[in-house]
Chains A and B, each alone.
Chain A
């Protein structure tokens, strides 16, 4: 009897240590993940000149809105914000609709061309022309210096198509069959049966497209670098980033370079912190509510046929 009690006690202590270690690892994980972001937040709300002294960690020392006001007064940031929102919304609507439609078409097992079309799309995941031929094509099509270069080249992604197709194939076949027996045509089945049932997977793909669009900058650099009225927020942020790195070395350099001329001074560091927070805010505010959707999407995508 005595030994039994002793052993149980030891296991409890062991379990306690185990839980403590697990908790410790995850606490470090959370700190490492959050600290850099919270630090940027603090710097964005701290007086720019005061920040140069260092020592800002999680809270601003000399609170100010001035960094944000300066950022929001910059014309190219405002235009960039507008273009970023526009491309995200337009691309999400158009690309999701197109992908859903073709995914449904190839999900129809009775359709004679379903397989060839699927293969045609899936191959694009493994073979592509590469940067230069694509660049030349887009330029030849008149997409350079245009808003549509953000939307058209990625209209249907094979991966997204496969995710939606797999989801549709998982729906009970009898639904479509009975509708067909009742004489429903393609459009009716798509609008009345497929779309309502596919809402979860559509949400997933919409999220993937929106995040990709919001975070893109390379296409802007490649095609619309010279068009101040078509550059995106991320690209404007990149310009701020590179101006900082060119000046890195002495803190004085960035102070002088970014002197606003007004009574309060800003630095590239503080402006960039404010722009970073503004740029990430929309997605960071949204994603926690969409968790179950992207978890579903990734799980389907992981077991694609």
Chain B
């Protein structure tokens, strides 16, 4: 006990240590090692922030950031006023972000709860291993597989729906605007459900087993134990992850939308990231692309901040 106190005292002292030449000399090994890492992060992560200036300019590559003409908020006006493209892009991003969020939560939690009911170790491990598989496939592969499954020629989904008499003839799912968001949502569910359930399964193992025993003695069935013990037990985890993920809603959506889109569904498939890519890289309007990127970043930061604040107010563990 005494020793423990002693150690604590030392670390408290060290934590409050002032930066003096003596300390710097003593820690020169650590400082020398840190320098390349600080330079690295400044160069690759902070220098690009200077590029935000481009959004307030009529940026010309040959003139550079320092020579281009400033135009104030013109580029932001261009985004919002006079054409509805960008507003539609925001709507798409938000809609797919929310659909993904809701579906992935329901499926991951549901899967974790159902899997937890399997008491035999072998089958449980087997299902779990299978469930991680799609996470390791790239979106390129998943989109290729998805196209095959939904294909009007020999696609399994069409075959099933026709044989169940739900459809009269095979349809091309990718030509229906109303289906695109849901295709993206369920593709996401297919790929990530197993992976997302890992954290819930870990949370379930932390629940005190005495609770289940007590409930059994009181005559609770398995379903009621799941509802009254397991679910409340992982509620804090669900809550924190939900709040965090709300912050990332606008970040959801580039690869799959980019890979699955086609001319017919373009109006519902284009996300902010794709818009940035289209205007910024393909049409080389760097200023407009950067302005769109800044808008997304600002909204994301506000959402992340609000999510964090809400978590704090709700008295849950803060995550960052």
Interface residues of A (CB under 8 A from B): 11, 14-15, 18-19, 22, 25-26, 29-30, 32-37, 39-40, 43, 54-57, 98, 101-102, 105, 108-113, 117, 120-122, 124-137, 152-153, 155-156, 173-174, 177, 185-187, 211, 214-218, 222, 234, 237-238, 241, 244-245, 248, 251, 269, 272-273, 276, 279-280, 283-284, 287-288, 291, 294-295, 298-299, 302-305
Task: Decide if A33 touches B130 in the complex (CB within 8 Å).
Answer: yes
- Give the complex CA separation of A217 and B221 in angstroms: 49
Given contacts A37-B133, A130-B276, A280-B137, 12 further A-B contacts (CB under 8 A): A33-B190, A36-B149, A43-B148, A56-B154, A112-B27, A120-B41, A132-B51, A237-B141, A273-B148, A280-B136, A284-B136, A298-B202
Task: Known A129-B52, A234-B138, A234-B140; judge A105-B132 contact (CB<8 A).
Answer: no
Report B-chain residues with C-beta under 8 Å of the C-beta of A234: 138, 140
**Of B15, B45, B147, B194, which contacts A128 at CB under 8 A?**
B45
Tell yes or no: B169 within 8 A of A by CB. Answer: no
Task: Known A130-B293, A173-B7, A304-B319; judge A29-B131 contact (CB<8 A).
Answer: yes
**Of A15, A32, A98, A237, which contacts B144 at CB under 8 A?**
A237
Interface residues on B, range: 35 or more
Task: Decide if A276 touches B133 in the complex (CB within 8 Å).
Answer: no
Task: Decide if B49 touches A129 in the complex (CB within 8 Å).
Answer: yes
**Of A39, A54, A117, which contacts B37 at CB under 8 A?**
A117
Q: What residue of chain A has the Cβ atom nearest to residue B31's Cβ?
A: A113
Which of A15, A128, A152 is packed against the most chain B CB atoms within 10 Å? Answer: A128
Report B-chain residues with C-beta under 8 Å of the C-beta of A273: 148
* A182: min CB distance to chain B, Å: 16
Report A-chain residues with C-beta under 8 Å of the C-beta of B296: 130
**Of B34, B47, B123, which contacts A113 at CB under 8 A?**
B34
Report B-chain residues with C-beta under 8 Å of the C-beta of A284: 133, 136-137
Task: Decide if A129 touches B51 in the complex (CB within 8 Å).
Answer: yes
Binds A, one of B17-25, B66-74, B89-97, B98-106: B17-25
Task: Decide if A120 touches B38 in the complex (CB within 8 Å).
Answer: yes
Task: Decide if B281 touches A222 in the complex (CB within 8 Å).
Answer: yes
- Give the complex CA separation of A131 and B7 in angstroms: 47
Q: What residue of chain B has the Cβ atom nearest to residue A287's Cβ?
A: B136
**Of B23, B114, B202, which contacts A299 at CB under 8 A?**
B202
* A141: min CB distance to chain B, Å: 8
- Give the complex CA separation of A83 and B156 in angstroms: 34
Interface residues of B (CB under 8 A from A): 7, 11, 14-15, 17, 19, 23-24, 27, 29-31, 33-34, 37-38, 40-42, 44-52, 54, 111, 114-115, 117-118, 123, 127-134, 136-141, 143-149, 151, 153-154, 156, 190, 194, 198-199, 202, 221-223, 237, 241, 254-255, 259, 262, 273, 276-277, 280-281, 286, 289-290, 293-294, 296-297, 300-301, 304, 317, 319-320
Report B-chain residues with C-beta under 8 Å of the C-beta of A280: 136-138, 141
Task: Known A112-B24, A112-B27; judge A133-B130 contact (CB<8 A).
Answer: no
Task: Known A40-B148, A54-B154; judge A132-B290 contact (CB<8 A).
Answer: yes
Report B-chain residues with C-beta under 8 Å of the C-beta of A294: 132, 198
* A66: min CB distance to chain B, Å: 19
Task: Known A156-B41, A222-B281; judge A298-B199 contact (CB<8 A).
Answer: yes
- Give the complex CA separation of A289 and B34 in angstroms: 35
- Give the complex CA separation of A113 and B34 in angstroms: 9
Task: Decide if A133 touches B127 in the complex (CB within 8 Å).
Answer: no
